[in-house]
Amino acid sequence: MEKRELLNTKKILTSKAVYLGLVLAFAVMMFIFPNEGKFKYDYQRGRAWLYETLTAPMDFPLLKTPAELTEERNLVASKVIPYYNYDESVLNRVLHRLSISANRNTVSDSIIGIISDDLKSVYQKGVMPVRSNTDDENNVAFNELDLIFLQRSNSNSEVLESYVYDQPKAYRYIEANLRSVFPGLNADSLLQRLDIENIIEPNLFYDRATTEMLHKDAVDYISPTKGMIYTGQLIVSNGEIVTAEIEQILDSYKAEYLLNMGYSGSKWELILAHAIFLLAILLSLFIAVYLIDTSLFDRLNEFYFILFLMVFAFAITAVVHNISSLYMFFIPYSVFALYMMAFFRSKIIFPIYTLMILPLLIIDENGMKLFWLNLFAGWIAIISFKFLNRGWLQFMNALMIYIAMIVVEIAFRLVESEGMAGFDITALYLFLNALFIVATYPLVYLLEKIFMLVSISTLRDLSDTNSPLLQELAKKAPGTFQHSLQVANLAERAVAAIHGNATLVKVGALYHDVGKMNNPQCFIENEAPGIHYHATLSPIESAQMIIKHVPDGAELAKKYHLPQMVIDFITSHHGQSQTLYFYNKYCNDGGDPSQIDKFTYKGTLPTTCEQVTVMMADAVEAASRSLKDYSKESISELVDRILSQRISDSQLAMADISIREINIIKDVFKKHLGEIYHARIVYPKKEEPDALRSVTVDVEME
């Protein structure tokens, strides 16, 4: 074990590929790091100001609070100012009708002149149609001040509705003016005779489209500010309690600082700060992998996959932050934890995921809240996805993540005395966040192909005994197939006890001996009764035929496009051990002991606990068939002897497994074999009466 650790450490420290990946990730993240500083003050309403007395270092606008903007927006939304177009051609048409009516009714020119002047005065201001329930403008709630927009040919003005006329009002105006000029005249009768009510028609026409457009613009372009804070003005004193008013000024100063000042120090100091932050994250990643799962450095595709996820998460954070800080709430960071769940053991996932979301703390102004929201969401995702990862159950997983984020959001609002203003928008974004987890998870299959990884789903498919290669094995080498099933059961149970990848072990065990189907009769479990394949072969020839099943298996696995992860089980399940039966026979027949190389497997040494488990399960299961006594003691002695031999032969020299884990595997093997080979009950023969026995004998003799 010490030899393996020393070799691994030396290999890692001199691995150019690992360092190249880290340097490339660092360069990309530095390039996309938002070029802005971090606001140096941390404050909270209701708490004391712990910094020096702060005065405004510059002029900046005082921003309205979200509640004030919402209230003003609602107020503007409730006030619709209608828009009317002025038609200048209507007056000439009205005067022409008046002239015709005057000639027909023989009204004096002086009276008609007065009426004409009144009409000109009325139409100069404008005549609106009389509103009714069927009018377009009646479908909207107009403003309380009765304002209207009046569009003439060369001007646009805002006037009170009382300034213009409608038809009844115009009629009353003309009637009143006639009475004042001609006191003795029956003005009402004259106007009725002239049919003035029908002659008067509107020259102001409601424009619904323009009204809605102007109203939308008014709502959208509400000023976000409500005053100015000037240079030197006191903002807050040391020890002073941060009130709502002070918080509003501080929020305004922070927004102006981040928008315009950005960073007041040297540009190179900012770059250095970013570099230190990223180096700390990547160094922590390196240490986490080294301490938890060193084998990831050997599987560069998996290590590069982790680096890709870190860079991708960082890029999304930087891009969305530049668009809007509010949009950060619906980035589904938890899905990155699920991507890792598909390929890695759970103990490495949470530390890497935590490092992945650390940039939130320094990039976004809501970094602390976003970090804890996504930390809890990722934690829930990692735990629940083990049980809720298929079909509609993924939506249940998303629901649990959503609930976790909502609880954290409420907790932050209570701590910060923020209240529930804007909670509905945040809750909506978090809901979209949870849905995006379900929507983006299928990308795992694309990532699997790009990085040549093997997901849990793929392993489940490979563990199906109806797969083409396993069906071929069952058909050509049924004894080997049954042996593989037994090894799979034994290894799966053992590796689960040491918290390894049980699904991977099952697949590795099922395929570890597929090479035997190229020559099934060569192996004792497939020999037909009365046929002894090795009877006519020399020990060296027999050993070579036996050893050949390992390269044959690797070749078949490649032909059937099995992942390299599975091929590694085929090449490592005998490691570099010897076919001792034929080697000992060779030596006993007078052979040269130095020819041991011809009896040695040319496979690879196991490196993972899963490969070690399959190697040991294969040896123990095969050896257990030769036992004549299946007592607890004999089974225990067999398991101890087989595993001790593997250790003494240095077959586990490169394996990432501890003595404690080997002892756990031993105990599981002993218990499992004891359950399989427990003593059977011998059923007694039924005693028959003598008379019946004699009758039976007579029948048989006949």
Is 532 a member of any domain? yes
274 and 210 fall within a common domain: no
* Final residue of a structural domain among 425, 453, 481: 453
Q: Are 307 and 26 in contact (CB under 8 A)?
A: no
Q: Indicate if the pLDDT at residue 695 is higher than 60.
A: no
Q: pLDDT digits over 425-479, tens only?
A: 778 888 888 888 888 888 888 888 888 888 877 888 888 888 899 999 999 999 9
Q: Hey, how many other C-beta atoms are within 10 angstroms of the C-beta on 616?
A: 28
Polymer length of the chain: 702
pLDDT digits (tens, 9 = 90+) for 324-383: 777 888 888 988 988 888 887 667 888 999 999 999 888 887 788 889 988 988 888 888
Average pLDDT rounded to a whole number, residues 522-541? 84
Which of 68-72, 308-312, 481-485, 525-529 is predicted with the least confidence, judged by mean pLDDT? Answer: 68-72
DSSP-assigned states of every residue in 474-511: HHH-HHHHHHHHHHHHHHHHHHHHTT--HHHHHHHHHH
Whether residue 37 has pLDDT greater than 80:
no
Which residue range forms the structural domain that includes residue 633? Answer: 465-676
> What is the CATH number for 491?
1.10.3210
Look at residue 3 and tell me if it is in a domain.
no
Q: Are residues 529 and 657 in the same domain?
A: yes
Note whether 521 and 576 are within 8 A (CB).
no
Residue 561 belongs to some domain of the structure? yes
Residues 432 and 542 reside in one and the same domain: no
Same domain, 162 and 280: no
pLDDT digit string (tens) for 67-102? 777 777 777 666 777 888 888 888 888 888 888 888
List of residues 6+ apart from 598 with CB closer than 8 A? 540, 543, 544
Is residue 335 in some structural domain? yes
pLDDT for the residue numbered 698: 39
pLDDT band at 220 (very low <50, low <70, confident <90, very high): low
519 and 444: one domain?
A: no
Among 526, 434, 487, 498, smallest CA distance to 660 is for 498
Out of 190-194, 229-233, 271-275, 470-474, give the one with best mean pLDDT: 470-474
> Has residue 278 been placed in a domain?
yes
Q: What are phi and psi of 226, to 5 degrees?
A: -145, 30
- pLDDT for the residue 650: 81
Same domain, 513 and 612: yes
Contact criterion met (CB below 8 Å) for 382 and 337: yes
> What is the mean pLDDT of the segment spanning 580-592?
88
Question: Which tokens hold the place of 670?
Answer: 């002993």
Using the 8-state DSSP alphabet, how is residue 535 labeled?
G
> In angstroms, rounded to a whole number, what is the distance separating the alpha carbons of residues 325 and 198?
61
Contact indicator for 548, 516 with CB cutoff of 8 Å:
no
For the cut 80, the answer to whether the pLDDT of residue 163 exceeds it is yes
pLDDT of res. 312: 94
Domain count, the chain: 4
- Gap between the Cα atoms of 515 and 567, Å rounded: 11
What number is the average pLDDT over the span 2-31? 74
Q: Higher-confidence residue: 475 or 262?
A: 475
Residue 398 lies in a domain: yes
Q: What are the tens digits of pLDDT across the range 411-420?
A: 887 776 656 6
Q: How distant, in Å, are the alpha carbons of 332, 335, 453, 641 from that of 338? A: 11, 5, 14, 42
CB 518 within 8 A of CB 626: no
Residue 287 in any domain: the answer is yes
Which region among 144-158, 282-296, 575-589, 675-689 has the lowest average model confidence (pLDDT)?
Answer: 675-689
282 within a domain of the structure (yes/no): yes
Q: Which of 420, 453, 486 is the last residue of a domain?
A: 453
**What's the whole-model pTM score?**
0.58
- At CA 195, angle to CA 193 and CA 196, rounded to 5? 115
Residue 239 pLDDT > 90: no
Angle at the Cα of 691 (from 685 to 694), degrees rounded to 5? Answer: 80
Q: What is the DSSP letter of 527?
A: P
Q: What is the pLDDT of residue 388?
A: 64
pLDDT of residue 385 exceeding 80: no
At which residue do the structure tokens 């619904």 appear?
208
3-class DSSP state for residue 83? strand
**Same domain, yes or no: 631 and 594:** yes
Q: Is the pLDDT of residue 283 over 90?
A: yes
pLDDT at 197: 86
Burial class for 689, CB neighbours closer than 10 Å (0-12, 13-18, 19+):
exposed
Q: Are residues 532 and 644 in the same domain?
A: yes
Residue 265's pLDDT band, with cuts at 50, 70 and 90, is low
- Whether residues 251 and 270 share a domain: the answer is no
Least confident residue range of 428-437, 564-573, 681-690: 681-690
How far is Cα 582 from Cα 662, in angstroms, rounded to an integer?
28
pLDDT band (50, 70, 90) for residue 141: very low
Choice among 288-297, 557-566, 587-596 with the minimum mean pLDDT = 288-297
Q: How confident is the model at residue 134 (pLDDT cuts 50, 70, 90)?
A: very low
| End position of a domain, from candidates 453, 478, 505 | 453
Q: Are 103 and 202 part of one and the same domain?
A: yes
570 and 431 share one domain: no
Residues 307, 401, single domain; the answer is yes
